Structure formats: C-alpha cells, structure tokens
Structure 1
Amino acid sequence: MINDSNREKIKDAAINLVLTQGIFHPSTAEITVTAGVSRTLLHYYFKDKKEIEELVCQHAMGLYRLKTQQLFITEIGMRERISEFSETAFAFAASYPFLDIFIITASGNNTEIQHFLTEQNFKIQAFIKELDMFFEENSLHDLTAEHFLIQLLSVINLPLDVIFQSIYLCENGQRNLCTAKQYKIVLKELIANILSKFTV
C-alpha cells in the first residue's frame, strides 16, 4: 500500500532543494534522493516535473506573502510594523535564504509570479508613501523611505554562508566558524542599529 505521506516528502524535498539549498532546477533524481523515495513513487504522485515546479512556485509566493504581510497592517504603528517585519523576515531569510532570488528568477518565464510581483509592488509603493509621511511627521528629514528599506533589507538578507565563512570566533586558540545562534545575535544588533533611526 502506497503511503500518501510520500507525496508531502517529495514536495518538501523539492522546496528544500530550491528555497534552502538554492538548486533552482533540481532533477528528479535529486528530488527523490532528498525525499528518500523511488522515482516510481515520484511519478505515481506527479505526472511530470513541471507539476512539482508549480507547487514550489505556489509555496514560494505563499511564503513571501507571510514574510511581508506585517508591513501592510495599518492597524498598528509604523515602528511596530517595521520591528515585527524585521523579526519575521530574519526568520524567513534563515530558513529560506534563496526565497527572494528564486521568485525574481522564476518571474522571467512564469506569468503567475509576474502578476504576483506586480500586486506586491503596488503594496510596497503604498507602504513607501506611508513611511515617507511618517518620517516627515516625526521630523526625520535625513531619512527617505527607499534608503531606509534598502538598508533594512540588505541586512536581513545577508547570505548565511558568506557570514559563516567570514566570521570566526577564537576558542582555546583555535579559529571556529560562528554558530547560527551567534550569527543571529550579530544580525539582530545590525537591525537594531537601523531601527534606532526611528528615535525622534
């Protein structure tokens, strides 16, 4: 009897390969090895690789919506929105470091993602206007919404592998790569430094 949980294993494996490992076009062999299933099972649940790719795209768009939704909640203050977004975006960057790059890359030949990005762009432009008004109302004349967001997103999306290769800690006279926990502390300090610009 075939276990339906194998379908989820295959889907999760494809998502992991694409969004976590950055293998944007994994082969069926790579997917089955990662999922720990046979190619026969893969073809039982999915008629072709394109169907799996579509599931990955749908999942990526869903993750991106979750990642950015705090920015568009007008019921809470701007500081809270930025702070909550930073926390959420950091978590997504750590779990899915290739999410943004994949969406941008896939938009080249995927009309659904193109429409999705157009929809997101309208929301971002509206948010930028709100942010500019916030800066103006609080006499933060040295800031522009665009520059602030660029700084914030640049820090949040620092590639983990580059950080791990460049930051070393000395223990007992030996150089050791920093841990994910230590990286998180460093990144939070950088984010806090950017958020401090909200101080009126």
Structure 2
Amino acid sequence: MSAKALSETEKLIMDTAMKVFFAEGRFNATTQEIADAAGVNRTLINYYFRSRNNLFDIVFENAQKQENELTEAIVFSDLPLKEKISRHLDIYFEQAKKYPYLEIYMVTQVNQGNCFKDKDTMGRVLDKFYLEIALEMEKGNVAKMRPEQFVLNFVSLMVFPVSMRPLLEETMGMSKEAYEKLLEERKEIILQTLFIN
C-alpha cells in the first residue's frame, strides 16, 4: 500500500470517527464500531491511532484547532464587524448542523480543563475583536457596554441553543426538524440583537 493510500485510510478513519462521535453522539463507540462504519479492519485504527481514546482525542483536538483557525481568519479579515459576525454564525451553524453533539462535548471538556489552548493566538484575536467592537460602539452601531459583555452576548446567543439542544427540544416539545428550523432563524435574530444598525 502506498503512502498516499495510507494517509487516505487515516483520513477516512478520522472522518468516520468525527461522524460517529459528534454527528451521531456516540461518544463511547468502540474501535470495532468505528472500523465497521469506516469499512476498514479494526487493526488499522490501532495501527494509526494506537487506541480508541487516542483517536477520540486527536479528532477532538483537530475539530477545536480548525474552529480556532477559522475564527482567527475571520477576525483578521478586512470585513466590517457585522460581516465578520455574520460569517462566523454561518460557519458555526453549518458545523452545528453537521455535528450536533460537538458543542455539547466541547463544553464538557472545557469544564474539565481538557481543551486545546493557544493563549497567545486567542489573546491577539480578542484584542482585535474588542477594538473593533469599541469602534462600532463609537459609531453608534452597537449599544455601549464593555466589549467583553458584547462577546458574552454573542457567544451566549450562538452557543446556548446548540449546546442545550437535547434539553430545549424536549422542554419546548419540538421535533428535531422543528428545532432545526428554529436554529436556522438564529442568525438574523442574533444580528438584530447585537447591532443597532
């Protein structure tokens, strides 16, 4: 088997694990279940990743890293703040639709102190974000408040309905389809809530 074929197999296993863990919510899926879903021999998972837990960690870290890189790219783009937020919401809700259990798991891991940390990058991202928020407040496009409060509002409005989805679906007596429709309406609601103009 060529090196290219091996890397394709590795990617297939990772993509399948991502689907099993975060699209289907089967956090405790075994290596055999992942192998069956990927259509590969279970020994290949051990060959590439050594264990199911290691595969899980790698897949989760990659998901976090990709999210951080996307956030950084958006924040440091030349788009106006409202467009940056709009773009971020598009990406976030698209991923939440594809992987509805990723945010739930991420919140759990953050609470346990097990999340991907790049404090230097996040510090630069937040400094740039805070500055842009302050400038929009001066222009009258955003209500005056501490920029940190704006960020809390933004993150809360975006993340809470996704991370609490199972509970909210049940409490509100909604089907998965009806709740999905509700989430599709979130972007405009969030933008209207955060921005005056």
- Global fold match (TM > 0.5): yes
Overall identity of the aligned pairs, in %: 22
Q: Which residue is 2:182 aligned to?
A: 183
| Residue 92 to residue 117, structure 1, CA distance change in 2 (3 Å) | farther
Unaligned residue ranges in structure 1 (runs of 5+): 169-175
Unaligned residue ranges in structure 2 (runs of 5+): none
Q: CA offset at residue 17 of structure 1?
A: 3.2
**Number of residue pairs matched?**
188
Q: Which residue is 2:35 aligned to?
A: 32
> Quick check: 1:79–1:198 contact (8 Å CA) kept in 2?
no
| Residue 30 to residue 68, structure 1, CA distance change in 2 (3 Å) | same
Supply the AA of the counterpart residue of 1:152.
F
> Could you tell me which of 150, 153, 173 is aligned with 2:152?
150
For residues 112-139 of structure 1, the C-alpha deviation after alignment (integer angstroms, 9 at most, x for no partner) is: x23x255224412331233123212437
TM-score by length of 1: 0.70
Q: CA offset at residue 96 of structure 1?
A: 2.9
Q: Distance in 1 between matches of 2:157 and 2:84?
A: 17
Q: Which residue is 1:173 aligned to?
A: none
Q: Distance in 1 between matches of 2:15 and 2:32?
A: 15
Q: Which residue is 1:171 aligned to?
A: none
Q: Which residue is 1:59 aligned to?
A: 62
TM-score by length of 2: 0.70
Q: Which protein has the larger Cα radius of gyration, Structure 1 or Structure 2?
A: 1
Q: Distance in 1 between matches of 2:90 and 2:173?
A: 22
Higher relative contact order (CA 8 A, sep 6+): 2
CA-atom RMSD in angstroms: 3.5
Supply the AA of the counterpart residue of 1:151.
N
1:126 aligns with 2:128: yes
> Could you tell me which of 82, 92, 114 is aligned with 1:79?
82
After the TM superposition, which of the residue ranges 64-73 and 151-160 deviates more from structure 2?
64-73
Q: Distance in 2 between matches of 1:69 and 1:144?
A: 21
For residues 88-107 of structure 1, the C-alpha deviation after alignment (integer angstroms, 9 at most, x for no partner) is: 22212222344455456178
The structure richer in helix per residue is 2
> Quick check: 1:13–1:34 contact (8 Å CA) kept in 2?
yes
> Quick check: 2:13–2:45 contact (8 Å CA) kept in 1?
yes
> Quick check: 2:16–2:37 contact (8 Å CA) kept in 1?
yes
After the TM superposition, which of the residue ranges 149-158 and 44-53 deviates more from structure 2?
44-53
Q: Distance in 2 between matches of 1:75 and 1:10?
A: 37
Q: CA offset at residue 141 of structure 1?
A: 4.7
| Residue 16 to residue 37, structure 1, CA distance change in 2 (3 Å) | same
